[in-house]
Amino acid sequence: MTQQTPLTVLVIGPGGREHALARALSQDPGVAAVYVAPGNPGTAEVATNHSVDANDPAAVAALAGRLGVDLVVVGPEAPLVAGVADAVREAGIACFGPSKEAARIEGSKAFAKEVMVAAGVPTGGSLLCRTPEELDDALDRFGSPYVVKDDGLAAGKGVLVTEDRGAAVDHGRACGEVVVEEFLAGPEVSLFAITDGTTVLPLQPAQDFKRIGDGDTGPNTGGMGAYTPLPWVSADLVDTVVSTIIQPTVDELRDRGTPFVGLLYAGLAITEDGPKVIEFNARFGDPETQALLPLLATGLGGVLYAAATGHLAEIGPLQWNPGFSVAVVLAAENYPQMPVVGGVITGIEQVADGAHVIQAGTSTDDEGQLVASGGRVLAVVATGEDLTEARNAAYASLAGIDLPQSQHRLDIAQQAASEEN
Ligand code: AMP
Ligand code: GLY
């Protein structure tokens, strides 16, 4: 075995994904202590918070050394792209999260496309545009609907998909360097895989709801809800995605001398020609992670430690509890533009059976009240025997939570639940 004694783990990041990770780690009998930095009031309930600038590699490595942890788990993309995982590993501490170089799979859309082409991974055609003329040519070539992406980190918000040529041109010019892509038609699936750079362990598929409004309307967000597993995908989807997409990408990055250690997130369109990559992310997705982790039966700490230390082949396939899980995000009014922050949150203690609250953009004010401090404020997560039960428990719990000037989608997992018999 890779680790005999209970692990101590430091989770880096401020939000909902980190709360979900810390909660699952705190419930793993193989984990003795969980720290989160900087965390939020939710993580403080399941772990010990420490303050840190999550994007400062030296500061994170120093904190991990001071705490004497066995493992650091980096949550968000920005610290990875800033080189936090490199600094932690250089300090001799195991780290779950890719190096700065490998994290470019998320940090640069152009790099991701180059890797996919080299590895023969199915994805849409794309062109990197640096001038207005190149932008016009690319829009002509791929046609409507136009897909125009900022070539950098944009927290899921730098992407415009539109049939309006003028809007596509405006977005492209505002971004500077942009990637214009072929539109991939088909339902979207998020498939996460844990890897030590060689061995790949897939999680079960999840679906995320990216648009702000019901019926997939309005602007893209970081994600307004998620559910898992997906009753409508074919039984061989995971195997197909691992063999045609995840494993070739992991192999390509290793062959380039930049092995990917951490979580590789494939955002997929299930097209008529099979699954194709819309995007890669270099970390656990948010809010899919909130929905996934309550169903994971395998201890999370041991899996992440095995990946971080190159021993993932010694861990068998991940085990899952039966049933379904739904996460519904409560966002501040006016998210994703200029969210209204400062509102007092009440009622999170009284959730339905099988439900719990994961905090994201929350903080405690001078009077000790829980207040909204970010765009996505919290998620209600519920499990059930089927999607209908999980959804009902999530929405019943959300109804008891009050945050003035907030918004949430009413249709998370609705279509899939309606197809259940
Ligand atoms: P991304 O940040 O790349 O995941 O893009 C955000 C969302 O835009 C995706 O979840 C899709 O809904 C949509 N999108 C991005 N690229 C494409 C594409 N090539 N074809 C169709 N939809 C896309
Ligand atoms: N759920 C989308 C993301 O994490 O980017």
Higher-confidence residue: 177 or 51?
A: 51
* From 281, 289, 292, mutation site for ligand 2 pocket: most ligand atoms within 8 A of C-beta: 281
Are residues 309 and 264 both part of a single domain?
Answer: yes
pLDDT tier at 4, thresholds 50, 70, 90 = low
Q: How far is CA 91 from the centre of its chain?
A: 26
- For ligand 2, whether the C-beta of 225 sits within 6 Å is no
Q: What share of the chain is helix, strand, coil (3-state, %, to 5)?
A: 30, 30, 40
| pLDDT of 153 strictly over 80 | no
**pLDDT tier, 225 (very low <50, low <70, confident <90, very high otherwise):** very high
pLDDT of residue 420: 87
Ligand 1 lined by 382 (C-beta under 6 Å): no
- Give per-residue pLDDT as tens, 323-373: 999 999 999 999 999 999 999 999 999 888 889 999 999 999 999 999 999
Q: Are residues 146 and 238 in the same domain?
A: no
**C-beta pairs of 365-370 under 8 Å, 24+ apart in sequence:** 369/344, 369/345, 370/41, 370/344, 370/345, 370/346
Q: Is residue 109, in this structure, part of any structural domain at all?
A: no
Four-residue CA torsion sign, 262, 268, 270, 273: negative
Tell whether 278 and 213 lie within a shared domain. yes
Q: How many other C-beta atoms are found inside a 10 Å radius of the C-beta of residue 344?
A: 13
Q: Which of 314, 332, 348 is the last residue of a domain?
A: 314
End-to-end CA distance of the chain: 43
In testing the pocket of ligand 2, which one of 149, 157, 190, 221 has its CB within 8 Å of the most ligand atoms? Answer: 190
**Whole-angstrom distance, CA of residue 96 vs CA of residue 83:** 13
- Taking all residues of the chain, what is their mean pLDDT, rounded to a whole number? 95
**Domain identity same for 173 and 217:** no
371: domain CATH number? 3.90.600.10
* Same domain (yes/no): 392, 412: yes
- Residue ending a domain, among 138, 165, 181, is 181
The finding on whether 281 has its CB within 6 A of some atom of ligand 2 is yes
177 pLDDT band, cuts 50/70/90, is: confident
Which residue puts its alpha carbon closest to atom 15 of ligand 1? 278
Unique residue bearing structure tokens 């019926």: 215
> What is the residue range of 160's domain?
125-181
CATH number, domain of 243, equals 3.30.470.20
Q: Residues 375, 403: one domain?
A: yes
Domains in the chain: how many in total? 4
- What's the average model confidence in pLDDT over 261-265? 98
Burial of 44 (0-12, 13-18, 19+ CB in 10 A): middle
Burial 212-224 (b: 16+ CB within 10 A, else e): beeeeeeebbbbb
Edge-to-edge strand list for the sheet holding 94-96: 48-49, 31-38, 7-13, 71-74, 94-96
Give the Å distance between the CA of 151 and the centre of ligand 1: 13
**Is there a single domain that holds both residue 252 and residue 274?**
yes
- Give me the pLDDT at residue 1, please: 45
Rounded Cα distance, 64 and 56, in Å: 12
pLDDT band (50, 70, 90) for residue 188: very high
The alpha carbon of 189 and the centre of ligand 2 are apart by a number of angstroms equal to 11
Residue 93 has pLDDT above 90, yes or no: yes
- Top-confidence residue, 123 or 2: 123
CB under 8 Å to 406, separation ≥6 — which residues? 330, 331, 332, 333, 343, 372, 377
pLDDT at position 175 over 80: no
Of 136, 152, 181, the one marking the end of a domain is 181
- Give the number of other CB atoms < 10 A from CB of residue 119: 18
**Shared domain check, 130 and 33:** no
Does any ligand 2 atom lie closer than 6 A to the CB of residue 286?
yes
Are 228 and 417 a contacting pair, CB within 8 Å?
no
Q: How many CB atoms lie within 10 A of CB 391?
A: 25
pLDDT for 137 beyond 90: yes
The protein residue whose alpha carbon is closest to atom 4 in ligand 2 is 285
Residues 309 and 336 in one domain: no
- This prediction's pTM: 0.95
CA of 70 to the centre of ligand 1 (A): 37
Mean pLDDT for 385-395 is 97
CATH number for the domain spanning 165: value is: 3.30.1490.20
pLDDT digits 0-9 by tens, 44-81: 999 999 999 999 999 999 999 999 999 999 999 999 99
Average pLDDT over residues 122-143: 94
Query: How long a stretch of residues is the chain?
Result: 421
Q: With pLDDT > 90 as the criterion, what percentage of the chain qualifies? A: 89
Query: Ligand 1: distance of its center to the CA of 269 in Å?
Result: 9
- The reported pLDDT for the residue numbered 412 is 98
The verdict on 276 and 176 lying in the same domain is no
CATH number for the domain harbouring residue 17: 3.40.50.20
